[in-house]
Every structure is written in structure tokens, then in C-alpha cells.
Amino acid sequence: MGASFRRMNVSASPDAQGSPLGKPAACRDTYSPDLLFPIARRGKRSEIGIRGDVLPFIGVDSWNAYELSWLDARGKPVVALGRFRVPASSPNLIESKSLKLYLNAFNQYRIPDTGTISAILARDLSAAAGAAVEVTIVPLAARPERRFAYPDGFCLDTLEIGIDAYRPRPGYLRAEGAATSETLYSHLLKSNCPVTGQPDWGMLAVRYTGPAIDRAGLLRYIVSFRQHNEFHEQCVERIFCDILARCKPSALAVWARYTRRGGIDINPFRATPGADDGGWDAGSGEIRQ
């Protein structure tokens, strides 16, 4: 396979300031695991009241990589869809541009089969995340499909309300009245990259059991992230913790399906243990049909 594979000496940054985000970066065409840039989760989690390793949720970050290619043993290109599952319990998230640069470094690299590249990716991503990352690689010749079904619930975007706040306002959240179980969702989630300021667009869904959440307040709260600077995973954890604290559901699941940027989409899922996932497939970041 050419060069031997190197192990990384991983030291997670507490933030993204040292990452390749917002900086010119030449594409490499040699295997380069050192391109991966881990960011410690603990800093942002401390802002929302999470201390140590005791998490108020379980969950996973489901990544889909659409620009994955390498050369087979004879030099013929292979193109594939890559799916990565990063556990929410991992100490680090991986900055997405660094992942893109890392994946692009395989473009001119000879690898004999899909199993080999899967093992390489699993090892390197797990080292960066600090926990086991599940990797699935499906060549496009096998015709992999993604499903983009809508949640089976109520779309908040139909509500006729006025909105004038575009920074997170957890005070909008309230729940009262008889207990219910329902799924509420919105396509109006937008936040910004904390380094470049570029927009991240997503669909957010909330599945809960407990006192009925005020729908107008929830929609205002979702829209209030519109000028907020935070990574996808951090936004979803902030939303989960705010709803849990202010609406006090007995069961809660929050997930986001973000649109792809740079050939990668990131789909975080967080839930109380045993919560109904509302049809969300955390393995692929899709709605089950």
C-alpha cells in the first residue's frame, strides 16, 4: 500500500482557534492523519451546566461524507459515501474542515479494498475523538441511498408569529397543562460557524413526553439561534439542556439534520435514556421509513 500508516499524538484544543477554519489550506495527496483537529467538548459543555463526565443525555453525532475517494491497487479511482458515528460521550468533537482535508488526502493514495480504508478511518477518527468511532464506507457503485423523509409530527413553521430576537433566548421556553407525547419540528434552525461566521442550516426536531410545550415559544427559541456562533453539536446540546431545564419533560429527544457544507453533513442526536426517538435513525442521520 505504499507508505506505512502513522499513529497520531492527539491533544485536543479547547476551541477552534488553532484549526484550519478560515485559513488557506493546500490539499495534500498523501495520507495525513495529523490533519484531523479535535476540539474538547468540555469547554462549551461547562457553559450549559455540564460538569465532568456525567452527561444528562445519551447520543451520537452522525456524519455523512460525500466527497470520499481513493485509488485501488491498480490506480483506478474509487468513490464512496462515508458514514461516521461519533458517540456523544467522546471527550472531543472533530472540526469539519479538518476532516474534509484529511479525507481529501486519500484522493491519490492506493488502498487495496474498502475494508482497509474503513479500518484506517476508524482508527484515526477514534484517536481524534478519544472514543470508538463507527465507520461505514459504501462505494457509489453499490448505489447507496439517503432518505430525506420528514418527521411524523407538527411543523412549527406554519405558526403565524412575530419574532425579533436572534440570539438564544431560553426564556421563550415554557410548558404547562396536561402531559402529552409529541414530535415538533422546524426547518428554521440557523446558526453560524464560531470561527468563519458562515451559516449552518438545519432541521431541528424535538420529541418529548411531559407537560405540553408552548409551540410558539419553542419556535421563537429555535429562531433565536439565527445569529448564534457555535458548532452543530454544541447547538443541539444547548437546546436539549434548555428544554430539559425549563420544560421538565419526563423523556426528551432532540436531533438536527444539517445541510451539507464542504461535502459533509453533521447530524447530532441527544436524548434522555429510553426516550422515544421519533423515527430518527442515529446511524445515518435520517428518518426511518
Phi, psi (rounded to 5 degrees) for 217:
-65, -40
Please report where in the chains the cell 445569529 appears, as a residue: 227
Q: What are phi and psi of 260, to 5 degrees?
A: -70, 145
Q: How far apart are CA 231 and CA 169, in angstroms?
A: 18
Three-class DSSP labels, 76-143: CEEEEEEEEEEECCCCEEECHHHHHHHHHCCCCCECCCHHHHHHHHHHHHHHHHCCCCEEEEEEHHHC
Residue 103 backbone phi and psi in degrees, to 5 = -65, -40
CB neighbours of residue 222 within 10 Å: 25
d(CA 77, CA 87): 31
235 in catalytic set? no
Active-site option among 200, 235, 241, 242:
200
Q: 61, 193, 241, 242: which is the annotated catalytic residue?
A: 193
Handedness of CA 239, 171, 202, 35 (dihedral sign): negative
Let me know if 200 is a catalytic residue. yes
* CA neighbor of 93 nearest in space, from 200, 191, 237, 282: 237
Catalytically active residues are 193, 200
